[in-house]
Chain A
């Protein structure tokens, strides 16, 4: 045991103590932190406002004026302010930190910088304008720098048929036609379409003898917030965050396990490649060596898990969303981490011991990785539907079940309690089987040099040992 721990200790420090590891773990954090603090500065330097003109050919005679009014500078400004306000409200719901006045002001400034009012105006073209001639200026815009003589550029063209306002005999309205320049800001596009729709509908209301403004005030419904009722009280539902939770859990588990496994693979290949294996085997048995290495790399994986889990929990606390985190899930995360790591690490140790260099390892790694990315592909459907038959079946399939289970546990539905111990048991079974397999392959593999092995050779070794 003492020797096993000595091996583990060396393995741990040889991996964690390298500059590469420290950079690999902390650099993403630094980049993320840096990006977050730079964001407002970058946002202030956002792209210039969209400027240009919108052509309108109005066969109905009732829409063009309304549209021209909707794109007057005052209206444009009003709409932009409204959008900023809505975003602020959304941000306030998502992030209680926004309650702080200073943060709020900063966010508002950032949003205002982001949503610059577009400088648009409307050209009303006569009903007998040739359509192709009207479209030609749009084509000129394509490929040209948008800012050169920007104000004169025609960015869009709307053709309102008479049938758009006056219903046909058979009932129903004709849609308007809409042409735009390529790469027009989607938000601006949406705004133009919305304004055209409004103008058309207003024209219809007026044609029906109704006052558009009063009808609008009747049909407009303020947005209401969804609230989840629980025993602990009500709270606002947060779709996005609820979806991120299972993903966060799975990514934590996956990244830490795979990183630890990969580094076990490369350290085993290195020991074999630099011919240190036999020196080690003069002092320890292959089993002691393998177990020591697995424990050491488990420490490495644990460091990664803890750093990122702390980051996750920390940001939940910062955004006052701790209620989303069930502490029991952290316990399960730890259990499934150990089981999942043992399964993956055993496979990596077996592969590492069997090959002569890292290139040969890649060939054997292919199928293993193919299995291990399954949870990455499945987290979305499973977190949406944690109790589907498919999700349940996957919960009992080592080696992917630890990953599936953390997704299900963090998912939106409660899962039957009895499934948890069963999944743990199947994972345990998987861990024991893969460790047994790895021990056999490892014993033979570590001193085998020469022909690169395939899976059939590995099975032969298992029978031999």
Chain B
């Protein structure tokens, strides 16, 4: 199987700022790749270079076997971060226009447009003007515009931003459907739990540098779970948690809002620890906590964690686990 995208030694600077530094990245065909990183990390720049909208200062890239995405535009679907619609145009006319621009057979185009609108729950919007739609509805229309020509390679820049939970799920399903059909899908997000739920490959970028590029399974293997969460049946102050600290493999016990986090040493066996805990305490919930991508990310970028944490919290509310990891 050939690779959908190959990036070799690509650097792009904007004035004094290095947006992407000496990047190597290979995206195999059929994969579902997540580009993650905070705002301004270089995700959009990388995607724009893949799309040949901007060109690298150094290095070269190959998209669908060609040196420029311009040569295979009709096989690529792209939902840019900066996306708009013609406000005065009707939804149906707009999608027909986009379909024609992407070389969809004019004969079936209108039926395809109607099918798509039906599937995303915008059946009645065919004759509405784009400006009459809510932001979330517009986003769905834009997704259709990106995917209407069944592209082999679908690139979505921040596809989830501004969607409510129902539409997030709908979009996840649509993405999975493209993935199952064997198309390569790349999406970027700074909301890392989206990536956690969806992608099979992870690419993390921070300040223009690649910090991680692994299949998701590898990521979990590499960042092995080292914390057990315990929520006891009794009130927290009635629980004798001090004894847990002396269990073999437990490094530290922390009390949180609803329960306790047991930090394990690197060589500990989580199941043995859990068994030991259940012998002394009645437990409502107990689980081995997988590190979130956020944890991993912050782990990787290390020293700059404090600033990042503030940024991430600002993005989607405070996350208690994150706070603890950062403290540890």
Contacts and interface: CB of A to CB of B under 8 A. Distances in A.
Given A275-B82, A276-B86, A281 B53 contact: yes
Contacts of A447: 48, 53-54
Contacts of A3: 100-101, 103
A278 B101 contact: no
Contacts of B78: 278-279, 282
Contact of A275 (B76, B77, B84, B146): B84
Nearest to A274: B84
Interface in B148-176: none
Contacts of A271: 84, 86
A370 interface: no
Interface stretch (A6-14, A296-304, A429-437): A6-14
A440 to B, nearest CB: 14
A2 B106 CA distance: 11
B290 interface: no
B21 interface: no
B101 A283 contact: yes
Contact of A10 (B85, B97, B142, B145): B97
B181 to A, nearest CB: 20
A285 interface: yes
Contact of B89 (A14, A277, A279): A14
Interface string A409-428: 00000000000000000000
Interface in A166-181: none
B88 interface: yes
Nearest to B97: A10
B87 interface: yes
A250 B88 CA distance: 33
Interface string B62-83: 0000000010010011111111
A271 B51 CA distance: 19
Nearest to B77: A282
A40 B132 CA distance: 49
Contacts of A274: 84-87
B86 A282 contact: no
A281 B87 CA distance: 18
Interface residues of B, number: 29
Interface in B88-134: 88-89, 97-98, 100-103
B53 A279 contact: no
Given A281-B53, A282-B76, A6 B101 contact: yes
Contact of A6 (B48, B84, B86, B100): B100
Which of B84, B97, B98 has most A Cβ within 10 Å?
B84
A7 B85 contact: no
A255 interface: no
Interface string A342-359: 000000000000000000
A283 B146 CA distance: 9
A30 B195 CA distance: 61
Contact of B80 (A14, A278, A285): A278
B70 A279 contact: no
A279 B97 contact: no
B101 A284 contact: yes
B100 A279 contact: no
A277 B53 CA distance: 11
Contacts of B83: 275-276, 278-279
A280 interface: yes
A282 to B, nearest CB: 4
A7, A277, A282, most chain B CB atoms within 10 A? A282
B88 A282 contact: no
Interface string A250-290: 00000000000000000000110011111111111100000
Nearest to A282: B78
Nearest to B88: A14
Contacts of B70: 285
A18 B48 CA distance: 34
Interface in B7-59: 48, 51, 53-54
B73 A279 contact: no
Contacts of B146: 279, 282
A6 B97 contact: yes
Contacts of B87: 270, 274
A279 B145 contact: yes
B142 A279 contact: yes
A6 B74 CA distance: 15
A285 B51 CA distance: 11
Contact of A279 (B48, B54, B76, B80): B80
Output the residue of B54, B80, B145 with the most chain A CB within 10 A. Answer: B80
A8 to B, nearest CB: 12
A280 B101 contact: yes
B60 to A, nearest CB: 20
B88 A279 contact: no
Contacts of B103: 2-3
Interface in A1-46: 2-3, 6-7, 10, 14, 18
A6 B103 CA distance: 10
Given A7-B101, A18-B88, 11 more contacts: A3-B103, A14-B88, A271-B86, A274-B84, A274-B85, A276-B85, A279-B80, A281-B53, A283-B73, A283-B98, A284-B73
Closest 5 CB pairs of A and B: A282-B78, A275-B84, A278-B80, A274-B84, A283-B101
Interface of B: 48, 51, 53-54, 70, 73, 76-89, 97-98, 100-103, 142, 145-146
16 contacts: A2-B100, A3-B100, A6-B100, A10-B97, A274-B84, A275-B83, A276-B84, A278-B53, A278-B78, A278-B83, A279-B84, A279-B85, A279-B145, A282-B76, A282-B77, A283-B102
